[in-house]
Structure 1
């Protein structure tokens, strides 16, 4: 019984510390490194290609050479030299959700990842329909 009380108090203490750290970080004005807007694309039917103009806003912590690339195919979309803050507009078209990475050109390190989620209004129905003539 005592161990349950101690563990609950410990969890509440840790949760309190975590929420305090988040509030302090938000109070300092921490900005996302890679932000995509809109982050969701909606197609009419499941499996259809969704099209949108996605605007990437990048605010890196230091001046340098950076690139945006697709996470799966590793295809580089755009690179910038000696930059810290920049924007990029992508003509997005996909039937599936796609992730994009911001990498450091010199070190090839992944600095941030964002995902454009593809959703749909109508789901494909797998129910068979039977037609009757009479």
Structure 2
């Protein structure tokens, strides 16, 4: 009885181990194939508002390229829906108006967002930093 249980365990372990090894190898191969060549550039990389807390308006251009032709989408961290998607492409350009009060991270990824290929950040800067409490002054005349 012990011999049969031991033989059953070993016959089950080898197929399971080979399946797990194959899945790990396939996942790593796909991620490394995507990671070696994908590029995302953002121009301009900074948006400047007059005062801290004010909306910042900028027209951005995001360019991306890849050695692998596939389906890609461009996402912004402040939105759930993609800004734009491309089908079976190796390059793409997104131009758009952005209105924001804080920095935004852009991600080029697969449409289901399982593999993030590249990222870029639009930073927000201010000419005048917001001061503390406003002074109240009373004037009679």
TM-score (norm 1): 0.69
1:74-133 per-position Cα deviation (integer Å, ceiling 9, x unaligned): 321100011101111021110110111101236731111111101110011115425254
Larger fraction in strand: 1
Task: Give CA deviations for 1:7-47 in whole Å, capped at 9, x if unaligned.
Answer: xxxxxxxxxxxxxxxxxxxxxxx976111100100000110
Which of 54, 68, 71 pairs up with 1:48?
A: 54
Query: 2:131 aligns to what SS in structure 1?
Result: coil
Structure 1 or 2: larger helix share? 2
Larger Rg computed on CA atoms: 2
Structure 1 gap ranges (5+):
1-29
CA contact (8 A) 1:65 1:106 kept: no
Matches within 5 A, 1:4-19: none
Aligned residues: 105
SS at match of 1:57: strand
Asked whether the equivalents of residues 46 and 123 of structure 2 are also in contact (C-alpha less than 8 Å), the reply is yes
Is the aligned partner of 1:63 residue 2:63? no
